Amino acid sequence: ARYQVGYFIGSLSSTSVNRELSQALIRLAPGDLDFEEIPIRDLPLYSPDYDAAYPPEAVAFKDAIHRSQAILFITPEYNRSIPGALKNAIDWASRPWGQNAFDHVPTAVIGASIGDIRTALAQQSLRAVLSFCNARQMTAPEAYIKYSPELFPGDGVVTDKSTEEFLTAFMAEFREHIARVLTVLPRGA
Ligand code: FNR
Protein backbone atom coordinates (compact mmCIF):
# COMPACT_ATOMS: atom_id res chain seq x y z
CA ALA A 1 0.00 0.00 0.00
CA ARG A 2 1.02 3.60 -0.53
CA TYR A 3 0.12 6.22 2.02
CA GLN A 4 -0.60 9.88 1.35
CA VAL A 5 0.89 12.03 4.12
CA GLY A 6 -0.06 15.69 4.47
CA TYR A 7 2.37 17.76 6.46
CA PHE A 8 2.05 21.05 8.31
CA ILE A 9 5.00 23.37 8.85
CA GLY A 10 4.21 25.34 11.99
CA SER A 11 6.41 28.25 10.92
CA LEU A 12 5.69 31.00 8.41
CA SER A 13 9.35 32.03 8.30
CA SER A 14 10.98 32.17 4.87
CA THR A 15 14.12 30.71 6.48
CA SER A 16 12.36 28.12 8.64
CA VAL A 17 14.61 25.49 10.17
CA ASN A 18 11.54 23.29 10.51
CA ARG A 19 11.14 23.42 6.74
CA GLU A 20 14.75 22.22 6.50
CA LEU A 21 13.84 19.39 8.86
CA SER A 22 10.81 18.51 6.73
CA GLN A 23 13.02 18.05 3.68
CA ALA A 24 15.24 15.65 5.59
CA LEU A 25 12.22 13.70 6.87
CA ILE A 26 10.80 13.35 3.36
CA ARG A 27 14.15 12.23 2.00
CA LEU A 28 14.61 9.61 4.75
CA ALA A 29 11.01 8.33 4.80
CA PRO A 30 9.98 4.87 3.58
CA GLY A 31 9.43 4.82 -0.18
CA ASP A 32 5.71 4.07 0.06
CA LEU A 33 4.91 7.41 1.73
CA ASP A 34 3.86 10.27 -0.58
CA PHE A 35 4.06 13.79 0.85
CA GLU A 36 2.06 16.97 0.27
CA GLU A 37 2.52 20.15 2.25
CA ILE A 38 -0.74 21.56 3.59
CA PRO A 39 -0.10 25.31 3.70
CA ILE A 40 -1.45 27.29 6.65
CA ARG A 41 -0.19 30.72 5.62
CA ASP A 42 -3.26 32.03 3.78
CA LEU A 43 -5.91 31.11 6.32
CA PRO A 44 -7.63 34.11 7.93
CA LEU A 45 -7.97 34.12 11.68
CA TYR A 46 -10.71 31.62 12.48
CA SER A 47 -14.07 32.82 13.76
CA PRO A 48 -17.28 30.84 14.28
CA ASP A 49 -18.86 33.44 11.98
CA TYR A 50 -17.28 31.47 9.11
CA ASP A 51 -18.95 28.20 10.08
CA ALA A 52 -22.03 28.80 7.92
CA ALA A 53 -19.87 29.29 4.81
CA TYR A 54 -16.14 28.56 4.93
CA PRO A 55 -14.08 30.79 2.58
CA PRO A 56 -12.42 29.03 -0.41
CA GLU A 57 -8.96 28.92 1.19
CA ALA A 58 -10.37 27.17 4.25
CA VAL A 59 -12.35 24.71 2.09
CA ALA A 60 -9.16 23.90 0.14
CA PHE A 61 -7.28 23.50 3.41
CA LYS A 62 -9.79 21.01 4.81
CA ASP A 63 -9.95 19.16 1.48
CA ALA A 64 -6.18 18.68 1.66
CA ILE A 65 -6.53 17.12 5.11
CA HIS A 66 -9.33 14.84 3.91
CA ARG A 67 -7.30 13.52 0.99
CA SER A 68 -4.38 12.74 3.32
CA GLN A 69 -4.31 9.41 5.08
CA ALA A 70 -2.05 10.78 7.79
CA ILE A 71 -0.77 14.13 9.01
CA LEU A 72 2.75 15.03 10.13
CA PHE A 73 3.29 18.19 12.19
CA ILE A 74 6.74 19.79 12.01
CA THR A 75 6.73 22.83 14.24
CA PRO A 76 8.85 25.34 16.09
CA GLU A 77 8.20 26.39 19.67
CA TYR A 78 6.94 29.91 20.23
CA ASN A 79 6.96 31.15 23.81
CA ARG A 80 6.83 27.60 25.15
CA SER A 81 3.83 26.64 23.02
CA ILE A 82 2.91 26.28 19.35
CA PRO A 83 2.91 29.23 16.93
CA GLY A 84 -0.42 31.01 16.64
CA ALA A 85 -0.56 30.29 12.90
CA LEU A 86 -0.51 26.56 13.58
CA LYS A 87 -3.16 26.78 16.29
CA ASN A 88 -5.30 28.85 13.95
CA ALA A 89 -4.99 26.19 11.24
CA ILE A 90 -5.97 23.44 13.66
CA ASP A 91 -8.96 25.47 14.80
CA TRP A 92 -10.11 25.79 11.17
CA ALA A 93 -9.68 22.05 10.64
CA SER A 94 -11.67 21.20 13.76
CA ARG A 95 -14.79 23.12 12.77
CA PRO A 96 -17.71 23.49 12.09
CA TRP A 97 -18.81 21.40 15.04
CA GLY A 98 -19.25 17.78 13.93
CA GLN A 99 -16.89 18.20 10.96
CA ASN A 100 -13.54 17.86 12.69
CA ALA A 101 -11.06 16.87 9.98
CA PHE A 102 -8.63 15.27 12.46
CA ASP A 103 -11.09 12.72 13.83
CA HIS A 104 -9.23 9.34 14.02
CA VAL A 105 -6.48 10.57 11.68
CA PRO A 106 -3.02 9.05 12.23
CA THR A 107 -0.61 11.84 13.21
CA ALA A 108 2.96 12.41 14.34
CA VAL A 109 4.65 15.42 15.89
CA ILE A 110 8.25 16.58 15.50
CA GLY A 111 10.06 19.89 15.77
CA ALA A 112 13.38 21.63 15.61
CA SER A 113 14.80 24.62 17.39
CA ILE A 114 18.17 26.21 17.86
CA GLY A 115 17.64 26.18 21.65
CA ASP A 116 18.22 23.40 24.16
CA ILE A 117 14.52 22.79 24.87
CA ARG A 118 14.22 21.55 21.28
CA THR A 119 10.46 22.24 21.01
CA ALA A 120 9.60 19.81 23.83
CA LEU A 121 7.03 22.15 25.37
CA ALA A 122 5.52 23.06 22.01
CA GLN A 123 5.09 19.39 21.27
CA GLN A 124 3.39 18.75 24.62
CA SER A 125 1.09 21.65 23.91
CA LEU A 126 0.35 20.35 20.40
CA ARG A 127 -0.32 16.86 21.72
CA ALA A 128 -2.94 18.22 24.11
CA VAL A 129 -4.69 19.97 21.22
CA LEU A 130 -4.53 16.88 18.98
CA SER A 131 -5.88 14.74 21.82
CA PHE A 132 -8.96 16.90 22.02
CA CYS A 133 -9.25 16.73 18.23
CA ASN A 134 -9.31 12.92 18.56
CA ALA A 135 -6.29 12.40 16.31
CA ARG A 136 -4.52 9.03 16.60
CA GLN A 137 -1.07 10.17 17.71
CA MET A 138 2.17 8.27 17.46
CA THR A 139 3.40 8.62 21.05
CA ALA A 140 6.83 7.05 20.60
CA PRO A 141 9.46 7.73 19.52
CA GLU A 142 9.46 11.38 20.51
CA ALA A 143 11.73 13.61 18.42
CA TYR A 144 13.25 16.82 19.73
CA ILE A 145 15.67 18.10 17.14
CA LYS A 146 18.37 20.67 17.77
CA TYR A 147 18.97 22.52 14.52
CA SER A 148 22.31 23.78 13.33
CA PRO A 149 23.28 24.74 9.77
CA GLU A 150 26.18 22.28 10.04
CA LEU A 151 23.78 19.43 10.81
CA PHE A 152 21.24 20.45 8.14
CA PRO A 153 23.22 22.13 5.32
CA GLY A 154 20.20 22.07 2.96
CA ASP A 155 18.31 19.91 0.45
CA GLY A 156 17.37 17.44 3.18
CA VAL A 157 20.95 16.47 3.88
CA VAL A 158 21.81 15.42 7.47
CA THR A 159 25.53 15.40 8.15
CA ASP A 160 25.51 13.42 11.42
CA LYS A 161 25.04 9.64 11.03
CA SER A 162 23.23 9.04 14.31
CA THR A 163 20.78 11.90 13.69
CA GLU A 164 20.13 10.59 10.20
CA GLU A 165 19.48 7.09 11.57
CA PHE A 166 17.18 8.47 14.23
CA LEU A 167 15.11 10.46 11.72
CA THR A 168 14.95 7.43 9.43
CA ALA A 169 13.70 5.28 12.31
CA PHE A 170 11.18 7.97 13.28
CA MET A 171 9.68 7.95 9.78
CA ALA A 172 9.71 4.14 9.62
CA GLU A 173 7.79 4.05 12.91
CA PHE A 174 5.36 6.64 11.59
CA ARG A 175 4.72 4.44 8.57
CA GLU A 176 3.95 1.50 10.88
CA HIS A 177 1.70 3.70 12.99
CA ILE A 178 -0.23 4.79 9.90
CA ALA A 179 -0.61 1.19 8.73
CA ARG A 180 -1.83 0.06 12.17
CA VAL A 181 -4.38 2.85 12.53
CA LEU A 182 -5.71 2.45 8.98
CA THR A 183 -6.19 -1.29 9.55
CA VAL A 184 -8.94 -0.52 12.05
CA LEU A 185 -9.93 2.94 10.77
CA PRO A 186 -9.69 2.96 6.96
CA ARG A 187 -9.52 6.33 5.22
CA GLY A 188 -10.25 6.98 1.59
CA ALA A 189 -7.48 8.73 -0.32
C1 FNR B 1 11.04 31.71 19.42
N2 FNR B 1 12.02 30.74 19.64
C3 FNR B 1 11.85 29.84 20.67
N4 FNR B 1 12.67 28.73 20.78
C5 FNR B 1 12.45 27.81 21.73
O6 FNR B 1 13.15 26.82 21.79
N7 FNR B 1 11.45 27.99 22.65
C8 FNR B 1 10.60 29.05 22.61
O9 FNR B 1 9.71 29.16 23.43
C10 FNR B 1 10.81 30.02 21.60
N11 FNR B 1 9.99 31.11 21.49
C12 FNR B 1 10.03 31.89 20.38
C13 FNR B 1 9.02 32.85 20.16
C14 FNR B 1 9.01 33.59 19.00
C15 FNR B 1 7.90 34.57 18.76
C16 FNR B 1 10.04 33.40 18.02
C17 FNR B 1 10.02 34.18 16.73
C18 FNR B 1 11.03 32.48 18.24
C19 FNR B 1 13.14 30.58 18.72
C20 FNR B 1 12.80 29.59 17.62
O21 FNR B 1 13.06 28.28 18.05
C22 FNR B 1 13.64 29.88 16.38
O23 FNR B 1 13.25 31.16 15.90
C24 FNR B 1 13.42 28.85 15.30
O25 FNR B 1 14.27 29.16 14.20
C26 FNR B 1 11.96 28.83 14.85
O27 FNR B 1 11.74 27.80 13.91
P28 FNR B 1 11.61 28.12 12.35
O29 FNR B 1 10.63 29.25 12.18
O30 FNR B 1 12.99 28.53 11.88
O31 FNR B 1 11.17 26.83 11.76
**pLDDT tens track for 14-64:** 999 999 999 999 999 999 999 999 999 999 999 999 999 999 999 999 999
As a whole number, the mean pLDDT across the chain is: 97
Residue 165 confidence (pLDDT) above 70:
yes
Give me the sign of the Cα torsion angle 31, 75, 130, 7.
negative
The ligand 1 atom nearest the CA atom of 15: 30
Q: Could you tell me the distance, in angstroms and rounded to a whole number, from the CA of residue 164 to the centre of ligand 1?
A: 23
How much is the pLDDT for 67?
A: 96
Of 121, 106, 131, 38, the closest CA to residue 76 belongs to: 121
Q: What residue owns the CA closest to ligand 1's atom 13? A: 78
How much is the pLDDT for 27?
A: 98
Ligand 1: which of 37, 113, 116 to mutate, most ligand atoms within 8 Å of CB?
113
Q: How large is the ipTM? A: 0.99
Is any atom of ligand 1 closer than 6 Å to the C-beta of 77? Answer: yes
Q: What residue owns the CA closest to ligand 1's atom 4? A: 77
How much is the pLDDT for 134?
A: 98
Report the Cα–Cα distance between both ends of the chain, in Å, rounded. 11
What average pLDDT does this structure show over 106-118?
Answer: 96
Range of lowest pLDDT (87-91, 114-118, 175-179): 114-118
Is any atom of ligand 1 closer than 6 Å to the C-beta of 125? Answer: no
Q: What residue owns the CA closest to ligand 1's atom 16? A: 78
How much is the pLDDT for 91?
A: 99
The ligand 1 atom nearest the CA atom of 21: 31
